[in-house]
Amino acid sequence: MARTVHIIGAGLAGLAAATRLAKSPMRIVVHEATDQPGGRCRSYFDRTIGMTIDNGNHLVLSGNHAVRGFVETIGSAAELVGPASAEFPFVDLATGERWTLRIGDGRVPWWIFDESRRVPGTRAGDYLRLVRLLLPGADRRIGEAMDCSGTLYQRLLQPLLLAALNIEPPQGSLALARAVVRETLAAGGSACRPLIARDGLGPTFIEPALKYLAAHNVAVRLKHELRATKTSAGRIAELDFGDEIVTLDDGDAAVLAVPPYAAAALLPGLTVPTTFRAIVNAHFRVEVPPSCPPMIGVVNGTVEWIFAFAGRLSVTISGADRLLDVPRAELAQRIWNDVSAVTGVKGELPPWQIVRERRATFAATPEENARRPGAVTQWSNLALAGDWTATGLPATLESAIRSGNRAAEVVETMKAA
């Protein structure tokens, strides 16, 4: 009889694991607690502004090879769009200055010697600071390894590291920053092209994945929350879904691809990250002027990144715990003031929505990074996945997909009990 693999959680990690295993002779079943797959990467129709939006704007870089492999497999690579080269328009709201950072394609960073391509107010020598991020060594806070002040920091390193790690960079893990910089900036512009899901996260990542899984006879069961597990003789013996108990026979396996707090509740004793950072997104229904770039970085504002979509401007603010208790209407107005100043779209506050994800990512500190477990567990038929597992990357789509791929590999090497 074919082995059955139960994948718990239909976020990107679970979907990646299912996609990897879809062609194997094993029977694959995905169980998702909510009525919508996608987890923290999803689109939904928002009645307040009358359009489909993403829970959060997601930016990936061309060097995110697992993300690109995933969309290739599910047939939606054309949905991830971006400029032909690594260009990042920026505006400084304190001074009104605007510039476009243009990272050269090659590994040798010749672009830092070109005043018109580097950050205004910086000199080529300032970029030597990046070397400090790349030096090998034990994990510690970025603020202990590098001077977090000055123009290069404020206009490049702070926005880049905050977006990648979702934590104020001085507190962030040097090891995670190193991994990001090594795979992107240090790899040259060809690894730094910004890519955005043109028509949203659902049409790019989720719906094509579901189609791919259906075509390979993978079942995805929604509203099917795993409530408890029963272990016996070093393996998972039962999965308790409340209305149904699934017994894992010899050779059956499970992949737990749920957030860390859910994993810890299902597997008492598992060490996981326990502190988180928020991300705030704001969406405004407006006519977007053609002059507006698809994405613009903002320095010295409440907002950090503004994304332009058809009929909508959307904003991302990372490490946004300070904004969680600000009244919604007040926050919307404050954000709109920045958006208006940056894009030139004038007028009263348009129809808006604010999405505050309190536990958007685990806090990317050295302490929390050290609490991330690997895919292999003490239970012989269980693998872990999720952006919070030990992928060596901060909590991103790239991390989630790599974790799912790794869990699939672990399952493939498991022996029948």
Tell the smallest beta-carbon distance from residue 19 to ligand FAD (Å): 12
Which residue's CB is nearer to ligand FAD, number 57 or number 122?
Answer: 57
Structure tokens at 156: 């490049």
Site for ligand FAD in 60-79 (CB under 6 A): 60
Which residue's CB is nearer to ligand FAD, number 58 or number 117?
Answer: 58
Tell the smallest beta-carbon distance from residue 292 to ligand FAD (Å): 19
Tell the smallest beta-carbon distance from residue 83 to ligand FAD (Å): 17
Q: Are 196 and 61 in contact (CB under 8 A)?
A: no
Going across the sheet that includes 194-197, the strands are 59-61, 194-197, 80-81
Tell the smallest beta-carbon distance from residue 409 to ligand FAD (Å): 17
Tell the smallest beta-carbon distance from residue 40 to ligand FAD (Å): 4
Site for ligand FAD in 5-44 (CB under 6 A): 8-14, 31-34, 39-41
Burial letters 182-199, b for 16+ CB under 10 A, else e: ebbbbbbbebbbbbbbeb
84 CB-near residues (< 8 Å, 6+ apart) = 193
Tell the smallest beta-carbon distance from residue 242 to ligand FAD (Å): 10
**279 contributes a contact to ligand FAD by CB under 6 A:** yes
Which residue's CB is nearer to ligand FAD, number 6 or number 129?
Answer: 6
**What is the chain's Cα-based Rg?**
22
Give the number of C-alpha atoms closer than 13 A to the C-alpha of residue 214, restricted to the C-beta side: 7
Tell the smallest beta-carbon distance from residue 199 to ligand FAD (Å): 16
Q: Residue from 167, 254, 339, 397 that binds ligand FAD (CB under 6 A)?
A: 397
Which residue's CB is nearer to ligand FAD, number 32 or number 79?
Answer: 32
* C-alpha 136: how far from chain center: 25
Site for ligand FAD in 329-358 (CB under 6 A): 357
**159 contributes a contact to ligand FAD by CB under 6 A:** no
**82 contributes a contact to ligand FAD by CB under 6 A:** no
Q: Which residues pair with 362 in a beta bridge?
A: 276
By CB under 6 A, how many residues form the interface with ligand FAD? 38
Which residue's CB is nearer to ligand FAD, number 112 or number 335?
Answer: 335
Q: Which residues pair with 33 in a beta bridge?
A: none
Which residue's CB is nearer to ligand FAD, number 104 or number 202?
Answer: 202
Which stretch in 94-102, 141-149, 363-371, 390-398 sits in contact with ligand FAD by CB under 6 A? 390-398
Compute the distance between CA of residue 341 and CA of residue 92 in angstroms, rounded to an integer.
11
Convert residues 225-254 into a mask of x (bound to ligand FAD by CB under 6 A) and - (unbound): xx----------------------------
Q: Residue from 6, 58, 68, 117 that binds ligand FAD (CB under 6 A)?
A: 58
Query: What is the contact surface with ligand FAD in residues (CB under 6 A)?
Result: 8-14, 31-34, 39-41, 55-56, 58-60, 225-226, 257-259, 262, 279, 281, 357, 360-361, 386-387, 395-400
